[in-house]
Amino acid sequence: MDSEVELENGGIKVDGELGWGKSLPVPSVQEMVRNDSEFVPERYIQESKDRPLDSTFCPKFNEIPVIDLTLLINGDEDELDKLDFACKEWGFFQIINHGVPEEVLGEMKAVVADFFNLPLEEKKKYAMAENDLQGYGQAYVVSEDQKLDWGDLIYLMTSPLEARNMKYWPTTLSGFKEAVEEYSREIERVSEEIMASVSLLMGMDKNGLKRLHVVRKQSMRMNYYPPCSKPDLVLGVSPHSDGGSITLLLQDDDITGLQIRYKGTWLPVKPIPNALVVNIGDVVEAWSNGMYKSIEHRAVTNENKARMSIATFVIPHEGIELGPVESMMQDQPRMYKTMKYLDYIIHSLGRKMDGKAHTNFLKLENKS
């Protein structure tokens, strides 16, 4: 495969195709709801076993850990222990006192709202190409008969600069580019600070994860989930784990939509105003030899209100090798294969979201 791969504008070129995979075009859910707010097409109704029937009647409402980033940066040992527990036990945590100005968070939410408020024909100017996941549409649609998610999105590569494809950026939308760039810079700083602490916990120096990435890339998935008249029949995003290193999520302060699978139960993640939700991705799971696990999560819909969220993914260079780092195997058997990250993302982007199935591809046989 190496001979068939070359980097071009920060993307992936495989057998003559440039892009990060592809997704089949589907109708805009937002437009569908505008035209008929009561109708839910069959293709969006999940199989009985996958429906979020427990979304309202969750037996327990455990709170995921909350990490104070200022304490963490200042070397507070209790906060570092809390981070270790959060990564091992939950794979998810919220961070407060992260230093991202409230106005930067507000501007980012505002420009995403402005984009989804554009007329459909205007949004279609930024539609995903046949061989690229960047742009406006829906991701992980790989067959004409799979169940669809109740949401629209725009996905952009944001860093480094050469990874961007500006034809997908709605640059005519006032303030969009500036708000995304400023938010991107802040999130890059925050993600670097989190990874420095995780590096120490993994037995490396604070730049350990940074070196493993070779080139640290960043992408954003901006989501719009319209209200749904039958929210217990559909999903905003199907269950999955994230294929990058870590993910930082900015969500609406007043609508709970994110759920994580914790000890076999779907638990809602209640938003903390101006906090960021962070989760471990498959890459760190493999590097940590499974000590820190990427956790299955999904988004549910709301009967009365639309919800937006902005997920920022930290991604390593496509050419790096996945597999446990030496410091994580001193007292443990090797649980994960060594493979190129490119091979992993080609595998995962060619399939629909399916819980932890993508992560299992990374594991050695007979390892669970």
Question: Alpha helix locations (H) across the chain?
Answer: 29-35, 69-73, 77-85, 102-116, 120-123, 176-201, 208-213, 282-287, 341-349, 357-360
Contact 249, 258 (CB under 8 A): yes
Give me the residues of the chain with pLDDT under 70, please: 1-22, 54-62, 350-355, 366-368
Q: Name the residue type at position 211.
A: R
pTM of the predicted protein model: 0.91
Please give the angle made by the CA atoms of 163, 167 and 170, to the nearest 5 degrees: 110
Residue 9: inside a domain, yes or no?
no
pLDDT at position 264: 87
Q: Measure the CA–CA gap between 1 and 14, rounded to whole angstroms.
A: 8
Instruction: State how far Cα 157 lies from the chain centre.
Output: 13
Any long-range contacts for 267-271 (C-beta under 8 Å, 24+ apart)? 267/58, 267/60, 267/61, 267/62, 267/64, 268/55, 268/58, 268/61, 269/64, 269/92, 269/94, 270/61, 270/63
Domain range for 357 is 20-362
CA torsion sign for 28, 34, 36, 38 is positive
Q: Name the percent of the chain in helix, strand, coil, to the closest 5.
A: 30, 20, 45
Tokens representing 134 are 């960047």
pLDDT at position 21: 64
Q: Name the residue type at position 145.
A: D
CATH classification of the domain holding 27: 2.60.120.330
The string of DSSP codes covering 241-301 is --SSSEEEEEE-SS---EEEEETTEEEE----TT-EEEEE-HHHHHHTTTSS-PPPEEE--
pLDDT at position 61: 55
pLDDT at position 172: 87
Residue 15: inside a domain, yes or no?
no
Residue 10: inside a domain, yes or no?
no
pLDDT at position 7: 34
- How many residues comprise the chain? 368
| Number of structural domains found in the chain | 1
pLDDT (tens digit, 9 = 90+) per residue, 11-68? 333 333 345 566 788 899 999 999 999 999 999 999 998 998 754 445 555 689 999 9
Contact 108, 180 (CB under 8 A): yes
pLDDT at position 131: 75
Residue 2: inside a domain, yes or no?
no
pLDDT at position 57: 45
Residue 3: inside a domain, yes or no?
no
Q: Name the residue type at position 82.
A: K
Residue 137: inside a domain, yes or no?
yes
Q: What is the DSSP letter of 226?
A: -
Residue 6: inside a domain, yes or no?
no
Residue 12: inside a domain, yes or no?
no
Tokens representing 312 are 């920022």
Query: To 10 degrees, what angle do helices 176-201 and 102-116 make?
Result: 120
